[in-house]
Amino acid sequence: MQKPSIGRVVIAFVDPIGNNGAQECPAVITRVWGERKDGGWTVNIKTLKDGNVDEWLTSVALFENEGAAMDHDPKRSCYWPPRV
């Protein structure tokens, strides 16, 4: 897995009601807490929603891909954007 750092962009799951109908939005890493025993990382993020209200999420589990994040807990996880 990539090593996270402050300022990197990840994808976070959010409530579609506050995000113009979309379930995901970009988020910026604001703090890296450390590596978990399972090889993942814990980070703080600020969401960048398609609307007026962004939010801070703390101690969020960062995963390599969307599937792994969904399997964990979509409300408390984020993932690296896929390369295109």
The predicted model gives 17-42 an average pLDDT of 93
pLDDT of residue 73: 87
On whether residue 4 sits in a domain, the answer given is no
Q: 33 phi and psi, to 5 degrees? A: -85, -45
Closest C-alpha to 25, from 4, 44, 51, 6: 51
pLDDT at 83 over 90: no
On whether residue 54 sits in a domain, the answer given is yes
CA dist 47 and 62 (Å) reads 14
Total structural domains in the chain? 1
pLDDT of residue 81: 97
**Res. 56 pLDDT band, cuts 50 70 90:** very high
On whether residue 58 sits in a domain, the answer given is yes
On whether residue 84 sits in a domain, the answer given is no
Please give the helix or strand (H or E) that residue 10 lies within, else none: strand 9-13
On whether residue 2 sits in a domain, the answer given is no
pTM: 0.92
Residue 62 DSSP one-character state? E
pLDDT of residue 78: 97
On whether residue 1 sits in a domain, the answer given is no
